[in-house]
Amino acid sequence: METKICFVEAEDAGRVILGRSAEEYLLREFAAFECVRAGAEDAERTAAELAGEGVAAVIPLDMPLVTAEDIARGAECMKKHKLGELILGDEDRGAKMVRAGGGRKGYFLTSPHFVKVDGAKNLSVVYNQIKERILGKLLDAGVYIADTANTVIDDTAVIEPGAEILPFCRIAGGSVVKSGALIEGSHLSDCTAESGAHIVMSHLADTRVGARSEVGPFARLRGAEIGEGCRVGDFVEIKNSLFRDGAKSAHLAYIGDAEVGASTNIGCGTVFCNYDGKRKHRTEVGERCFIGANVNLVAPVRVGDGAFVAAGTTVTEDVDAGAFVIGRQRQTAKPRKDTDKTS
């Protein structure tokens, strides 16, 4: 008995759950079926016409858990009991199946999949079932997920077999985690983690982390391109910047609108001063540079290859390759006047 699908328009069909809308899950599940769409008032008539000599399933587009297996089970039930109509779930809120030629009615087919996303409780039920499906498929494929209860991965993300996802991770959007990468306690949105990358307790968006690079803990990366073998440590923020292979910033730095050359070290407390109050400007730091602690690089500025910028320096002009730059006041010591008059 051939089964066709009549999708019913629904207010919550566009609600996004773990990367896809409710209706996207259904459209993908039933891509191999003959499908039509209808408004709620026309659904039964459309389904009856669609059924022909077979069966038509009427499925609201806000019921994303329904599977082809559910519909096949329903069709078998209709055939066995010579039914003209079969209710899937709740009579007023569920789906149904119809067959041309009539027959006995009154059968209900129950399943935890016949749930709409039209309320807070129902949404929670659907969300958690979809979450379990996603993680189950990844486990079956060979992705190491240590704690499924505390891991959330969007259906749109790509996690390769051999990747390891430790607890308290949220991997969203079009993120890609390559085999051999290790993600621990982090939030990734539209990011790529190459093989051997290690990201721990950090927040990344629109960022690529190269092979064998380490990020975190407590790093914040936005629109960043991190090369191979890099180190981005705790409380480092990188925004709209390129970090070439082997570059390092171990802790407490802001790197915005910049390009940092290969094997360059950015010291603790360094700030790339990219905003003048009206516009953003870029900074270029060459290869094999040493940028000391508490340095301010006031954009637009360029630091040549192999330059050494001493701690506490504010750089406002371009620095030649190989130069040593120091811009702080020479330390002096003066006698302290004792103002504490005690007897």
Q: Give the model's pLDDT for residue 303.
A: 98
Q: Give the model's pLDDT for residue 54.
A: 85
Which region among 5-9, 108-112, 136-140, 178-182 has the lowest average model confidence (pLDDT)?
A: 108-112
- The whole-number average pLDDT for the span 206-230 is 98
Cα atoms in the Cβ-side hemisphere of radius 13 Å centred on 170: 8
Q: What is the dihedral angle through the alpha carbons of 292, 297, 302, 303, rounded to the nearest 10 degrees?
A: -10
> Above 70 in pLDDT, residue 123?
yes
> Above 90 in pLDDT, residue 160?
yes
> Above 60 in pLDDT, residue 38?
yes
On whether the CB atoms of residues 291 and 272 are closer than 8 A, the answer is no
Among 146, 152, 110, 114, residue whose Cα is nearest residue 134: 152
The set of catalytic residues is 251
Angstrom distance (rounded) from CA 137 to CA 127: 16
- More confident of the two residues 99 and 216: 216
Q: State whether residue 284 is helix, strand or coil.
A: strand
Angstrom distance (rounded) from CA 114 to CA 92: 12
Among 234, 232, 235, 218, residue whose Cα is nearest residue 260: 232
The token pair that represents 294 in the structure block: 């508490």
Cα atoms in the Cβ-side hemisphere of radius 13 Å centred on 110: 1
Side chain identity, residue 44: E
How many residues does this entry show for the chain? 343
The token pair that represents 316 in the structure block: 């406002």
Q: Give the model's pLDDT for residue 105.
A: 64
Question: From the CB of residue 301, how many other CB atoms can be counted at a distance below 10 Å?
Answer: 20
pLDDT tens per residue across span 85-101 = 888 887 767 889 988 66
On whether the CB atoms of residues 171 and 185 are closer than 8 A, the answer is no
Angstrom distance (rounded) from CA 49 to CA 317: 77
> Above 50 in pLDDT, residue 312?
yes
- The whole-number average pLDDT for the span 117-145 is 97
> Above 50 in pLDDT, residue 343?
no
pLDDT, mean over the chain: 93
Residue with token string 């990366």: 221
pLDDT tens per residue across span 44-66 = 889 888 887 789 999 999 999 99
Q: Give the model's pLDDT for residue 286.
A: 98
Among 300, 301, 331, residue whose Cα is nearest residue 319: 301
Angstrom distance (rounded) from CA 138 to CA 141: 5
> Residue 135 to residues 120, 126, 143, 311: CA-CA distances in angstroms?
22, 14, 9, 48
> Above 90 in pLDDT, residue 202?
yes
Q: Which residues pair with 231 in a beta bridge?
A: 214, 248
- More confident of the two residues 49 and 246: 246
- The whole-number average pLDDT for the span 205-226 is 98
What percent of the chain stands above pLDDT 90?
80
List helix spans (H) across 96-157: 120-141
- The whole-number average pLDDT for the span 108-133 is 94
Q: Give the model's pLDDT for residue 84.
A: 84
Which region among 76-80, 193-197, 258-262 has the lowest average model confidence (pLDDT)?
A: 76-80
Residue 320's pLDDT band (boundaries 50, 70, 90)? very high
pLDDT tens per residue across span 162-199 = 999 999 999 999 999 999 999 999 999 999 999 999 99
Residues in CB range of 339: below 8 A, 6 or more apart: none
Residue 109's pLDDT band (boundaries 50, 70, 90)? confident
